[in-house]
Structure 1
Amino acid sequence: MNRIKSYLFISVGLMLFLIALPERSEAQNRVNILDADRAEGAVVDGQFVRKLLGNVILETDQMVMEADSIYDFSEQNMLHAFNIQIETESEIIWADTLYYNTQTDYSELRGRVIVQSENNTVFSENMDAALALELIIFSDPVRFEDERGTLLAESGLYYQDVDSAAFRGNVQLADSTQYLESDSLFMNRQDDLYELYGRVYAEDFEDNVIFTGDYLYADSTGYRLLTGDDAWLMELSENEADTTHLLAKKIELLETDTTSTMDAFENVRIWSTKFSAIADTALYRDHEEKFELRSNPKLWQKNIQLTGPVIEAHLENSDIRFLSSYPRPIAVQEDTVTGRLHQMAGDTLHAYFNDGVVERIVVFDQSEIIFHQRDENDEPDGLIELIAQGSSTMYFLEGEFDLFKAERNIDGSYLPESTQNVNRRLDNFSWNPEQKPQRPTIQVPRLPTIPEERPFELPPRYVRYIENNQN
C-alpha cells in the first residue's frame, strides 16, 4: 500500500459573525443615522413604530448597516430591517430581512442570507445568532465556500466560545484533493478534531484511496478511526492496475512524519489483485511494507492457502515477497491439473516469492509433507508422505509444486493410487476456498455532485458589491 495520508482535510473555515446592535441608551454605542430618505411614525397592531424609509444607512462603533427600511418596535424591543447589508471589521452580511431583539441580543436573518469574511462565504436562507450563548443556528440548508472547496449541509450549529460546529443532513465537503459525505459532522477547529456520523463516504484523490463506514474520527495527532458493520477501505496503485480492499468492523490509522500504520479488527477481510486473506486482526506498517495477521488467519495466494496462528507478509510493489507463519502452520496447494491437495506443515513456515510467484516453501522442525504425483500423461499417480525432524523444502516451477527435499531423521513412504489415499490429510489440515474473500463491490457517493450554482438568486446589494470590487 502507498503511504496513508491524513484524510481529514476540512478546509472550509467557520469565521462567522455576531450581530450586536448596541443599546441606544449607552452614549459610547450610539447609533448614528447617516442617511435616510424619510422618517415617520406609525401605529401597527396598537403599537407605536418608528420607521426609517428609503436608502437607510446606520453606523455604530462596530458596524455600518445599509437597508431599504428599518422599523423600530420599541415596546417589543425589536428592530426589523429589510434588504440589508451590514459591514463589520471582519465580515459583510447580506439578507432580505433582519429581526433583532435588543433585549435578548437575538438576531434572525431570513431570505438570501450571505456572510462573507476574509476566509470564506456562507449562504443560507435561515440564520439565527444567539449572542448571549455565542451560538449561530442554521435551520435551513447552508453552503460554505472558500478558495479551496465547498461544504453543504441541511442544517447546522456553530458555538463560537469553543470554536465548534455541528452539521446535520447530507453533509458534503469537496475540494481539489478530496470528497466527503455523511449524515452529520462535528468539528472543533481549536483542537483540530472531526467526527463524521452515518453513511460516511470519503475519497482521497491524491492517494487514490476511498473508504466508507458508519463513523469516522480524526484528530490533530494523525489518528483516524473508521468503524461500521463493514467499514471498507480501497486503495489503487499509482497506475491504478492494482487494487487493495480492506473490510473490518474497526480500522485505525496513524500517520506521523516517519511512520504510517493501519490496524483492522473483527471480521477482517483483505482482497487484492495479488492475494486475499481473512483474520480477526490485521496490522499493517506502510513504512516497512509489512502486514501481520493474527487470530485465526488464512491467506490465499493464487492456488495456495496458508493457515496458521500468526502470518507475517513482506511486500514489494504490492506483491508478496516473503511470508512466514508460526506455530504449526500448514500450506496447502491445489494441483491445477488433478485437483489433488499438496500439503506442507511444520513448527515454522517460510515462503519465498519472485514477482508474486511462489518459488519455494521451507518448514522447520517436525516437518511433514504430502505430495501427490502425476504420471507421464498428467494423471494422478499416488502420493509421497514424508516426516522429518529437521527442515523440509518444497520447490515450485512457475508456481506449481515440482519437488522437495528434507533433512535429518527422514521417514517417508510412497502410497500407490487408490481411492483410500486420495483424501489423505495431515493432522492440522485446513482447506477453505469457500472462505476466500471475493472482490467487494466498489462503493460510490450516494449524494449528487455539489453544484457550482449558489442556492438562490443573489440579492441586488451583494451583486452590486461584487461588481464594484471587480471594477
Structure 2
Amino acid sequence: MFKNLVKFISLIIFVSINNFSIGQENKMIVIEYSHFLEVNEIHGPDVKILKEDVVLRHNSAQMYCDSAYLNVKENFFIAFGNIHVISPTEDLTDTVHLFGDSLHYSGKEKLAEVRYNVILQKDSMILYTENLDYNTSDNIGYYFDGGRTLNGEDTLISKNGYYYADTDDLYFKDSVVVLNPKYTMYSDTLKHNTKDKISYLLSPTDIIASDSSNYIYSEAGWYNHTLDIGQLNKNPVLTHKKQTLVGDSIFYDRNKGLGIATDNVIIADSVQNVRLKGNFGKYYEFTERSVITDSALFIHIQDNDSLFMHADTIRSIIDTLRSGTDTTTFRLIKAYYKAKVFRSDFQAKSDSLIYTFLDSTIKLYKEPVLWSDKNQLTADYIEIQTDSNEISRVLLTNNSIMASKSESHGFDQIKGEKMVAHLKKNKLYKIDVEKKGGIIYFMLDKEKLVGINKLECINMVIYMLDNEMEKIWYYGNPKGTIYPPKDLTESEKVVKGFKWLKQYRPQKWQDVFIWEKSGDTSENDVIDLKIEKN
C-alpha cells in the first residue's frame, strides 16, 4: 500500500547513517548525516529528500548543504542553501573549500556544479564567481562567466578560468586583468601559480605601472609578484619615460629599476633621437643610465644625416651642471676601447671618447684621429665642437698634426703643440697654431712638384680656401727653406710623429665595426653618404 506509506520520516541519524551507503563503497554517494530524510511518490523511490544539516560524501569529498535531492539510481544529487564542498588535494596535504547557493553533483563524473555566489578557497587564495564546475577526482575547477581571484596583494580577473588545485595553478582566459598596488597587467591568456605568486605570460601582455612611470610588453615569459622580477622572452619592450629598451629577451627587476636585455638589443631615446644597439644591454630607470656591449652601436639621428659610433662598451648617463642657483641636466655618451665614429662629413677613431649633448661636443682620448674631407688630424687629445649639427671648431692638444694628401707627391702637413681648426659649413677656413709651429708644403706648378717648403715658427695662423693654404701669418722667429724634392730623404718630408692612417678610416657607417682594414686601400676611396636610419 505505497500511497499509505509514511511520506515524511523523521530520523535522528548517527552511526546508522554513517554506515548507510548507496551501492559500492567509494563509488556511490554516501549520506553521512541528515536531520530529515523523505521518500515520496512524486519523485519515486530512487530519490531521497534530505533536509537540515545535510552531509554527503563521495570518495574523499565531503559536501554540506541545507537540503538535497539524492537520486540513488543515477548517483546524482541536487543541493540547496549554504553549499560547502571540502575536497582534499591528491597528496592529501591540503584542502579545497567550495561555497555557493546551489550544487549539482554527479558521482559518475565526480563533477560538482556550483552556482551563484560561488567562492573557492585554498590557503590564502580566494576565487569568486557565479558559476563554477569542479572535478573532485582531478581537483580541477572551471568558471565560464567571469571570475575574480584574490592572491596576496594581487586581484586576478578574467571571463574564463581553470584552477588546478594539486599544482596551485590558475589559467585565465579572455579579458585577463591583474591588479597590483604597483602595476596592472592586461592579457588574453595567463597562467598564475598561487603558491609561488608567479604569473606566466602566454599571450601578448601589457604591464603598466600604477604611477605610469613605466610600461612593459611581452608575448611570453613570467613575472614574480613577490620579488617583483620578470623574464620577458618574446618581443619584449620596456618603456620608461622617453627611454625604450627592446631585445630578444629582457630580465626586469622593479625594485632596482633595472632592465637587462640580450640579443638584438635597442635602447632608444625619443627626446634626443638616440639609439643604442648591441647584443647585451642594461637600462637603469632610477638614474636613466644605460650600457650596451657586444657589437655596441650608438646612433644619433639628425636632420639629414646620422652619427654612428662603435666601441667595445658604450654608456649613456645623465650628468648635472650647476651654475649659481641654476641646474642643468644633460646626457653624456661614453665609449671606450676601440671607439670609432662615422658621419658623412667627418670620421674619427680613438681608444675612448665622450659625447656631450649639452654642447654637442665629442672628446677623443688616447691616439685619436679625425678625418674631415681630405684632411687627417691627430694629437694626444682632440675635441670636436659642433653647432647646428655641423663641426664649428676642432681643438688639438699636444703633438698636433694636420695632414692632407698632395696629389701623388706626398703629404702637406701642419704641426704644433696646440691647434684650433675653424670650419664653416663643414669647410676648413682657418687654423690657429700655438707653440712649435711648423709646415711641410709640397709646391706644384701645373701638377709638377717643383719644391718642398719647410718652415718652423712659434705660432701661426693659416687661412684655407677650397682645402688649400691661401695665406699664412707667422709669429716668433720663423725659419723656412724651400728644398728641391731630390734633396730631401723620405723621413725629412714628414714632421716628427706623422703617420698616414688611411687603414683606420671608415668609408661607410658599417665600417665602424672594423678597427683596421687589411691590405691596400686606395687613396681615392669615396665616403659613402648613404645613411640608413635604423
SS at match of 1:165: strand
- CA shift for structure 1 position 66: 3.5
Q: Distance in 1 between matches of 2:383 and 2:140?
A: 71
The higher-RCO structure (CA 8 Å, 6+ apart) is 1
Q: Distance in 1 between matches of 2:400 and 2:85?
A: 80
- CA shift for structure 1 position 112: 5.2
Q: Distance in 2 between matches of 1:146 and 1:258?
A: 27
Q: 2:482 aligns with which of 414, 438, 444?
A: 414
Q: Which residue of 2 aligns with 1:385?
A: 454
* Equivalent AA in structure 1 for residue 313 of structure 2: K
Q: Which residue of 1 aligns with 2:462?
A: 394
Q: Distance in 1 between matches of 2:475 and 2:120?
A: 94
Q: Which residue of 1 aligns with 2:64?
A: none
Query: Which whole-Å deviations, capped at 9, do the CAs of 1:205-250 have from their partners, x for residues lacking one?
Result: 443323311122122112111111x21121122xx21211111111
SS at match of 2:508: coil
- CA shift for structure 1 position 413: 0.9
Aligned partners of 2:230 and 2:252 also within 8 Å: yes
Q: Which residue of 2 aligns with 1:364?
A: 434
Q: Using a 3 Å threshold, how does the CA distance of structure 1 residues 349 and 359 change in structure 2: closer, same or farther?
A: same
1:444-459 to structure 2, matched below 5 A, reads none
Aligned partners of 1:290 and 1:312 also within 8 Å: yes
Q: Using a 3 Å threshold, how does the CA distance of structure 1 residues 155 and 33 change in structure 2: closer, same or farther?
A: same
Q: Which residue of 2 aligns with 1:223?
A: 289
Q: Which residue of 2 aligns with 1:186?
A: 251
Q: Which runs of 5+ in 2 are unaligned?
A: 1-83, 88-95, 320-327, 511-530
The sequence identity of aligned pairs, in percent, is 17
Q: 1:429 aligns with which of 493, 498, 505?
A: 498
SS at match of 2:226: coil
Q: Which residue of 1 aligns with 2:134?
A: 70
* Equivalent AA in structure 2 for residue 208 of structure 1: N
Say yes or no: does 1:33 pair with 2:77. no
Q: Which residue of 2 aligns with 1:109?
A: 171
Aligned partners of 2:351 and 2:367 also within 8 Å: yes
* Equivalent AA in structure 2 for residue 428 of structure 1: G
Q: Distance in 2 between matches of 1:227 and 1:419?
A: 52
1:253-332 to structure 2, matched below 5 A, reads 253-256=316-319, 258-332=329-403
Q: CA RMSD in A?
A: 3.5
Aligned partners of 1:415 and 1:421 also within 8 Å: no
Aligned partners of 1:338 and 1:380 also within 8 Å: no
Q: Distance in 1 between matches of 2:146 and 2:136?
A: 17
- CA shift for structure 1 position 346: 2.1
Q: Which residue of 1 aligns with 2:224?
A: 159
Structure ID, larger Rg = 2
Q: 1:81 aligns with which of 127, 142, 148?
A: 142
Q: Which runs of 5+ in 1 are unaligned?
A: 1-21, 446-471
Q: Distance in 2 between matches of 1:56 and 1:384?
A: 102
Q: Distance in 2 between matches of 1:341 and 1:157?
A: 62
Query: Which whole-Å deviations, capped at 9, do the CAs of 1:161-194 have from their partners, x for residues lacking one?
Result: 2222111244346899676531211112233222
Say yes or no: does 1:58 pair with 2:118. yes
Aligned partners of 2:200 and 2:222 also within 8 Å: yes
Q: Distance in 1 between matches of 2:120 and 2:134?
A: 15
